[in-house]
Each structure stands twice: as C-alpha cells, then as structure tokens.
Amino acid sequence: MEQKELQKLVEEISLFFFGLPFLHEARFNFRLRTTGGRYLLKSHDLEFNWRHYETFGIDELIGIIKHELCHYHLHLQGKGYKHQDADFKQLLAQVGGLRYCQVNEEARNKTLSTHCYCCIQCGLVYNRKRKINLKRYVCGKCRGRLKKII
C-alpha cells in the first residue's frame, strides 16, 4: 500500500463511519515500532506503523485508523480526545475501532536487553539495554564485582 492509497482509505473511513471529512495528511511512519499509529496534535496529521500493517494486514490497519480518527475528530470538535475520556471511549465503541493493537513481537524483541552482566560472587544476572561502567557499579545484592557476559 502506498501513501496515496492510505490517504484515500483514511478519507473514506472518515466519511463512512464518522460522517465528517478528513482534511489533513495520513502517512506511514517507518520509524514507529511499538505503536500502531498516532495522532499529531499540532499538525492534525495521522501516522501509521508500516510494519504493523505488513504483519497483521488490512483489517488491523482499519481498526487502527478508526482509533486515530476518534482522536482526530474529537480534538477538532473540542471534546475529550484522550484515551481516558468518556467521549473517546464512547465514539470508539460506536465506530468499532481498536482499543489496543496487536503486539508486534519482532519490534518487542529488538528493544529487549542487549547487555548481560553477572556478579562474580553470588552469580546474580543483570540484563540491561544500555552499557554500564563496571568500575562504577557493583552487585545490588552482595556488593560484588560485575562481569560482562554478553
């Protein structure tokens, strides 16, 4: 699916389910990893996760589009557009949008720890996303020295 097709799909869904036109830009954001889409408050544009569409298909994308259009239309009307607002929950249920999108395991695995440390004395294992200074940090359990495993 190209950007033009996505724009057309969002405009059609907006008119059919909400009865209101979508007057801004809809696009794929290839840097999104953990979310299906997002509504940009300042520009009123919508961004969608390409990998999510590629993995789960058009039905999941339509649910995400409905979710983001709820944010869009409620914000422009001056109503409660946030997830916890009653207006948002009511409109989302009315149009049949997704409250949560499916979890993309591929994106989740990339954010898991890449550095693994082990205490020399007690053997406790620490998994971290960021590298730590072994001269500065010690084991939180026994105050022993740490050693990098991976």
Q: Which residue segment(s) compose the domain that 139 sits in?
A: 113-148
Which residues of the chain are modeled with pLDDT < 50?
A: none
pLDDT tens, position by position, 58-80: 999 999 999 999 999 999 999 99
pLDDT score at 110: 61
Residues 6 or more apart whose CB falls under 8 angstroms from that of 26 comprise: 6, 7, 9, 10, 11, 45, 46, 47, 48, 65
Tell me what pLDDT residue 70 has. 96
Q: What pLDDT is recorded for position 107?
A: 63
Residues 95 and 129 both lie in one domain = no
Q: What pLDDT, on the 0 to 100 scale, is given for residue 29?
A: 94
141 and 72 inside one domain: no
Q: Are residues 102 and 127 in the same domain?
A: no
Q: Residue 44: its pLDDT value, please?
A: 96
**Beta-bridge partner residues of 64:** none
* Judgement on whether residues 40 and 54 belong to the same structural domain of the protein: yes
Task: Pick the catalytic residue from 47, 68, 105, 106.
Answer: 68
Instruction: Note if the pTM is more than 0.75.
Output: no
Catalytic (active site) residue 106 = no
